[in-house]
């Protein structure tokens, strides 16, 4: 009983606080105007100006953007029947962002009159990508989220690559990308309103279909609701809403995901009330955070991008709410793709080919360079090139090895071939550790940076282990924690970047996975860690084969499931952290390498581990070499290139498959 | 002597019940189950069949009473020692994860050799025996995921046979199979009990299949064990009507004379 009163009361208090803050901020504008302009009439004019062209549009934008995200979130979650679906987890936001970044960079040649259309195009392309990956694997809920996670980072990687290559636009792009709400006119309000109001009308008309969609396709068909029409329309609405928000205020993490859950926690249990409460909750959270930021006495705080701060606050809230949320059941077990080849393929020959591939890549990376006169071959011992190349090559190989092994481990832990070590959020922990060290000390040396990165990884690993242990490390829970931690860490890094710190370049270069500054010591210690993790994982290959059977069967076969999961999580964390020190937090080599290894016919856990290690090494070394020579003397970071190479391989591999499966 | 022997060879539930979220899933019940016998568990949906099986296989701990296996409470067994005795297959078969039938069956030896030890001659013999009892010889090098539903079921049963020495516990293994494959699977299970003296506890969807296959039928409703006995004692008008809540009658099978239940 008490709870029932408490929860709406919480919402009421939040709304009252927001209103009070709005009043306070309006008053403050007047005070400041008087402070700046001694003449009373001029001061009144100035404060009117500020109120009408800055404060009120900003207030309206925060309300509308929050509501749009809340509505988009609840639509995605209901139509896809997936509690983790949201504009940001489905990569729709990053698609829109990438399109806008491309638009900004092309401005002199081709100027977009209405960026919102550009954002929508990007969002729909991203959504198409996810849908393609999803249908290919018959859209289990877990797979869709994993695919979204990958796509959003791949698109984000392209966007940051573009930003890196166009440094003159960097600061403004970053601030906008982090979700700044500063307005100078009413245009943003109009854009959001024009998208949101018709969307509300359509949802109101289709409200009943939406409710029935929640019962599943079969039931909806029996009740005469045409899903062919309603589902794509509602999804398109959600994508449009997300794109309009990105076009006006940038990528806002978290509001879309959290608003429907917040509505539920506050008592909106029935779907109808949740449909109404989610946009309201989104608007309320977003406006509250924005007003708090504006009310803060420090100017530095006033300038913080609201989007990043919202994610920063929202992520811990989601983690705290984890226990209150209904148990998220994702259809986790996913059949691995069947290898096309006969199972009795000679392992020896596969390994020989893979090893030859690795050695060839290593040789090319060490021996082939590009100078002013084009490509040249040779060790160039006399010029000392080998001393420059060796640490990078060893480091890349070690990182690739670690990621290949980690990917194998995590895919077997999640029983899903779309899982990737990045989803545990450990790379993000490394990023924040580094950023914090740079913030604290202006002249942090390599060893201090290394220490910070390790500490970040350790903290995140501990968080994952402590929070995940509550339900015996169930994949659903680990995934949720990983998403929350990653959002938190991304927000922290974005904030740091948006503050315009001169060390932006250094951090960005590291985040995008550049190997320029790898020392021999770092390279060989990462190699050591990677080999140690592999040495620990190999004898556990029976665990790795039984774990994917699911906890029930694994328990009845005598496997200590929670302990085995803990060991696998710990090994994955170590390998991921070590790799992140060299090629940054996001590369998705860990996704790709086990996949490619399986494609060559390595099915057993031990064989796949070895294969993934070799393929991962070769992939990162190759990406590093390409980045070194393709635009020489300008270098592209290996991590970004690995994402691009990997994403194109995945895209190529997935294209013909829907056709093939339809024919069967 | 009979009672003591029962304790030594099988499950003894005393007052074992399960309460989840304030709802009583399985009312405290007393039950003895011996090996070398086939038990069929029947009852409407949500009657607590799966939960009872899950308690017996240590997936969930009973919230009241206790369950002994071979005289020792379940919590007293180490997980591998228990797995060497009792194997469990849930209703939903796990994906095969790109294993061949032979490899899957060999994984069933995990509780015997553990994570590190190599396969012994004993292990190899058990695997070969399990494969031959279940008639999977020709399919041994096929990938499990490429088999038909019935063959996949048999492959998992073979894995259980290789794993456990005394009891197989299966949750509605026949519900997804057509009648021919059902008969085939039950035939295989019969051969397993005959060859190895295993006990089988199985939940069934279909009362007549359970009656034709089991030595003893356990009928559950709303978490309560309402009747237990030979098929002829359970498949009667009164018990079935009470169990399913619809008027039901029985008639003798034209050939075997076993009673068959049907809705009136």
Whether residue A602 has pLDDT greater than 80? yes
**Cα–Cα separations (whole angstroms), residue A7 to A2, A166, A257:** 9, 48, 20
β-bridge pairing B167-171 and B199-203? parallel
Rg (CA), chain A: 25
Helix (H, G, I), strand (E, B) or coil at B243: helix
Whether B143 sits inside 8 A of A415 (CB atoms) is: no
DSSP readout, A173-236?
A: HHHHHTT----SSSHHHHHHHHHHHHHHHHHHHTHHHHHHHTT-HHHHHHTT--HHHHHHHHHH
Whether residue A606 has pLDDT greater than 50? yes
Out of B79, B83, B99, closest to residue A545 by CB:
B99
Out of B90, B108, B145, closest to residue A338 by CB:
B145
Distance of CA A597 to the CA centre of its chain: 25
CA separation for the pair B221, B204 (Å, rounded): 13
Give me the architecture of the B2-263 domain, per CATH: 3-Layer(aba) Sandwich (3.40)
Quick one: pLDDT at residue A135? 60
Whether residue A505 has pLDDT greater than 60? yes
Q: In a mutagenesis test of the A interface, which of B88, B98, B123, B141 is the best target, namely the one with the most A β-carbons within 10 Å? A: B98
End-to-end CA separation in angstroms for chain B: 45
Backbone angles phi, psi at B200, to 5 degrees: -130, 130
Quick one: pLDDT at residue A342? 46
pLDDT grade for A332, boundaries at 50, 70 and 90: very low
Whether residue A171 has pLDDT greater than 60? yes
Q: Residue B203 forms beta bridges with which residues?
A: B41, B171
List, in sequence order, the alpha helices (H) in A368-445.
385-414, 426-440
Contact present, A553 and A504 (Cβ < 8 Å): no
Contact present, A414 and A544 (Cβ < 8 Å): no
Whether residue A174 has pLDDT greater than 70? no
> What residues in B contact A562, CB-CB < 8 Å?
none
| Residues of chain B with a CB closer than 8 angstroms to some CB in chain A | 54, 57-59, 79-84, 86-90, 94-100, 103, 107-108, 110-111, 115-116, 141-143, 145-146, 163
Mean pLDDT value across residues B65-86: 90
The strand order across the sheet containing B72-73 reads B23-33, B11-20, B64-69, B72-73
Helix (H, G, I), strand (E, B) or coil at B67: strand
* Digit-coded pLDDT (tens) for A251-284: 887 788 888 888 887 877 788 888 888 999 999 9
Backbone angles phi, psi at A372, to 5 degrees: -60, -25
Whether residue A173 has pLDDT greater than 80? no
* Digit-coded pLDDT (tens) for A339-365: 444 445 578 888 888 899 999 998 888
CA separation for the pair A256, A264 (Å, rounded): 14
> What residues in B contact A558, CB-CB < 8 Å?
79-84, 110-111
β-bridge pairing B72-73 and B64-69? antiparallel
* Digit-coded pLDDT (tens) for A408-428: 998 888 877 777 887 777 877
Out of B98, B110, B163, closest to residue A336 by CB:
B98
Out of A546, A556, A603, closest to residue B87 by CB:
A556
* Digit-coded pLDDT (tens) for B129-162: 899 888 888 888 888 888 888 888 889 999 999 9
Distance of CA B253 to the CA centre of its chain: 25
Contact present, B226 and B238 (Cβ < 8 Å): no
Chain A residue with CA closest to B93: the answer is A549
Mean pLDDT value across residues B12-25: 87
pLDDT grade for A617, boundaries at 50, 70 and 90: very high
Contacts of residue A88, Cβ cutoff 8 Å, sequence gap at least 6: A94, A152, A251, A252, A253, A254, A256, A257, A487
For residue A633, is the peptide bond before it cis, meaning its omega torsion is within 30 degrees of 0?
Answer: yes
Quick one: pLDDT at residue A408? 93
Mean pLDDT value across residues A93-105: 84
Whether residue A658 has pLDDT greater than 50? no
Give me the architecture of the A347-611+622-663 domain, per CATH: Orthogonal Bundle (1.10)
CA separation for the pair A376, A416 (Å, rounded): 43
Q: Within a 10 A sphere around the Cβ of B125, how many other Cβ atoms?
A: 11
CA separation for the pair A247, A115 (Å, rounded): 6
Q: How much is the pTM?
A: 0.79
Q: In a mutagenesis test of the A interface, which of B53, B60, B115, B146 is the best target, namely the one with the most A β-carbons within 10 Å? A: B115
Contact present, A396 and A583 (Cβ < 8 Å): yes
Across chain A, mean pLDDT equals 78
Farthest CA pair distance, chain B: 58
Structure tokens at A315: 């992520």
Contact present, A527 and A394 (Cβ < 8 Å): yes
Give me the architecture of the A2-304 domain, per CATH: Orthogonal Bundle (1.10)
> Which is more confident, A456 or A585?
A456
How far A470 CA lies from chain B's nearest CA (Å)? 16
Residue ranges per domain, chain B?
A: 2-263
Q: Residue B218 forms beta bridges with which residues?
A: B41, B228
How far A134 CA lies from chain B's nearest CA (Å)? 18
Whether B145 sits inside 8 A of A540 (CB atoms) is: no
Rg (CA), chain B: 19
Q: Residue B19 forms beta bridges with which residues?
A: B24
> Which is more confident, A510 or A336?
A510
Quick one: pLDDT at residue A329? 47
The strand order across the sheet containing B199-203 reads B86-89, B167-171, B199-203, B38-42, B216-221, B224-229
Q: Within a 10 A sphere around the Cβ of A303, how many other Cβ atoms?
A: 15
Whether residue A535 has pLDDT greater than 90? yes
Out of B81, B94, B141, closest to residue A343 by CB:
B141
Quick one: pLDDT at residue A534? 94
pLDDT grade for B96, boundaries at 50, 70 and 90: low
Helix crossing, A347-367 with A605-629: angle to 10°?
A: 20
Quick one: pLDDT at residue A664? 32
* Digit-coded pLDDT (tens) for A145-159: 777 877 777 777 677
Structure tokens at A558: 């005598």
| Residue tagged 């994917």 (tokens) | A548
Which residues belong to CATH 1.10.3470.10 in chain A? 2-304, 347-611+622-663
> Which is more confident, A201 or A25?
A201
Quick one: pLDDT at residue A238? 92
* Digit-coded pLDDT (tens) for A215-225: 766 666 666 66
Backbone angles phi, psi at A631, to 5 degrees: -115, 30
* Digit-coded pLDDT (tens) for A14-52: 888 888 888 888 888 777 777 777 777 777 787 788 888
> Which is more confident, A17 or A654?
A17
Farthest CA pair distance, chain A: 89
């Amino acid at each position: 009983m008490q709870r029932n009163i408490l929860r709406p009361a919480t919402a009421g208090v939040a709304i009252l606080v927001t209103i009070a803050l709005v009043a306070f901020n309006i008053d403050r504008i007047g005070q400041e105007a008087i402070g700046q302009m001694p003449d009373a009439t001029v001061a009144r004019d100035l404060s009117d100006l500020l109120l009408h062209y800055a404060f009120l549009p900003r207030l309206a934008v925060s309300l509308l953007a929050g509501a749009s995200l809340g509505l988009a979130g609840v639509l995605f979650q209901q139509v896809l029947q997936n509690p983790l679906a949201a504009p940001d987890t489905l990569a729709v936001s990053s698609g829109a962002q990438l399109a806008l970044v491309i638009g900004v960079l092309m401005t002199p040649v081709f100027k977009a009159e209405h960026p919102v259309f550009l954002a929508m195009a990007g969002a729909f392309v991203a959504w198409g990508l996810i849908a393609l990956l999803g249908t290919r694997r018959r859209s289990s809920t877990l797979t869709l989220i994993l695919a979204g996670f990958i796509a959003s980072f791949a698109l984000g990687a392209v966007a940051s690559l573009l930003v890196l290559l166009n440094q003159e636009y960097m600061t403004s792009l970053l601030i906008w990308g982090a979700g700044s709400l500063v307005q100078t006119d009413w245009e943003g309000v109009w854009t959001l309103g024009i998208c949101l109001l018709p969307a509300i009308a359509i949802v109101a008309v289709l409200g009943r279909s939406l409710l029935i969609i929640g019962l599943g396709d079969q039931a909806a068909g029996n009740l005469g609701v045409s899903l062919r029409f309603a589902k794509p329309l509602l999804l398109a609405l959600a994508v449009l809403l997300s794109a309009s928000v990105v076009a006006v205020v940038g990528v806002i993490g978290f509001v879309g995901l959290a608003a429907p859950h917040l509505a539920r926690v506050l008592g909106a249990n029935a779907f109808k009330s949740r449909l109404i409460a989610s946009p309201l909750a989104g608007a309320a959270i977003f406006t509250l955070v924005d007003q708090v930021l504006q009310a803060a006495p420090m100017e530095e705080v006033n300038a913080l991008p609201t989007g990043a701060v919202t994610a920063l606050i929202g992520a811990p809230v989601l983690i705290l709410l984890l226990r209150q949320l209904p148990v998220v059941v994702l259809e986790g077990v996913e059949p691995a793709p069947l290898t096309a080849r006969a199972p009795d393929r000679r392992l020896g020959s596969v390994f020989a080919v893979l090893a030859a591939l690795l050695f060839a890549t290593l040789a090319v990376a060490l021996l082939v360079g590009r100078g002013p006169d084009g490509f040249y071959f040779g060790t160039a011992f006399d010029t000392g090139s080998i001393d420059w190349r060796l640490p990078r090559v060893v480091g890349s190989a070690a990182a690739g090895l670690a990621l290949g092994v980690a990917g194998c481990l995590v895919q077997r832990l999640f029983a899903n071939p779309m899982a990737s070590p990045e989803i545990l959020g450990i790379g993000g922990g490394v990023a924040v550790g580094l950023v914090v060290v740079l913030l604290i000390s202006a002249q942090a040396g390599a060893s201090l940076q290394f220490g910070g990165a390790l500490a970040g990884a350790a903290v995140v690993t501990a968080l994952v282990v402590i929070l995940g242990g509550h339900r015996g490390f169930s994949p659903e829970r680990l995934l949720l924690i990983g998403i929350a931690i990653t959002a938190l860490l991304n927000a922290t890094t974005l904030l740091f970047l948006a503050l315009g710190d001169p060390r932006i370049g250094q951090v960005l270069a590291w985040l995008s996975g550049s190997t320029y500054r790898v020392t021999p010591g770092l390279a060989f210690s990462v190699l050591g860690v990677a080999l140690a993790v592999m040495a620990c994982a190999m004898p556990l290959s029976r665990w790795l084969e039984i774990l994917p059977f699911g906890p029930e069967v694994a328990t009845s076969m005598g496997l200590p499931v929670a302990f085995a999961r803990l060991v696998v999580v710990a090994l994955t964390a170590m390998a991921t952290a070590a790799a992140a020190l060299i090629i940054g937090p996001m590369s998705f080599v860990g996704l790709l390498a086990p996949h490619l290894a399986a494609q060559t016919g390595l099915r057993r856990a031990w064989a796949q581990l070895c294969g993934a290690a070799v393929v991962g090494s070769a992939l990162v070394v190759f990406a590093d070499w390409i980045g070194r020579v393709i635009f020489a003397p300008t270098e592209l970071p290996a991590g970004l290139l690995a994402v691009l190479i990997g994403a194109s391989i995945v895209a190529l591999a997935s294209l013909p498959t829907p056709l093939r499966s339809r024919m069967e | 002597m009979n009672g003591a022997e029962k304790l030594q060879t099988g499950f003894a539930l005393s007052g074992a019940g399960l309460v989840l979220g304030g709802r009583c899933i399985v009312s405290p019940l007393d039950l003895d189950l011996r090996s070398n016998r086939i038990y069929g568990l029947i009852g409407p949906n949500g009657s607590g069949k799966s939960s009872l099986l899950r308690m017996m296989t240590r997936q969930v701990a009973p919230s009241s009473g206790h369950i002994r296996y071979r005289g020792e409470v379940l919590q007293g067994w180490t997980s591998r020692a228990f797995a060497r005795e009792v194997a469990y297959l849930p209703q939903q078969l796990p994906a095969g994860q790109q294993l061949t039938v032979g490899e899957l069956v060999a994984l069933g030896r995990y509780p015997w050799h553990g994570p590190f030890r190599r396969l012994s001659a004993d292990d190899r013999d058990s695997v070969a025996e399990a494969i031959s009892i279940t008639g999977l010889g020709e399919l041994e090098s096929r990938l499990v995921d490429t088999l038909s539903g019935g063959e996949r079921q048999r492959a998992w049963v073979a894995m259980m046979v290789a794993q456990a020495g005394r009891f197989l516990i299966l949750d509605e293994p026949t519900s997804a199979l057509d009648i021919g494959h059902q008969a085939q699977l039950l035939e295989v299970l019969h051969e397993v009990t005959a060859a190895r003296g295993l006990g089988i506890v199985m939940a069934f969807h279909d009362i007549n299949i359970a009656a034709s296959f089991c030595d003893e039928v356990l009928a559950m409703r709303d978490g309560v064990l309402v009747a237990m006995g030979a098929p002829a004692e359970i498949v009667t008008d009164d018990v079935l009507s009470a169990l399913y809540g619809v008027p039901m009658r029985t008639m003798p099978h034209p050939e075997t004379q076993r009673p068959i239940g049907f809705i009136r």
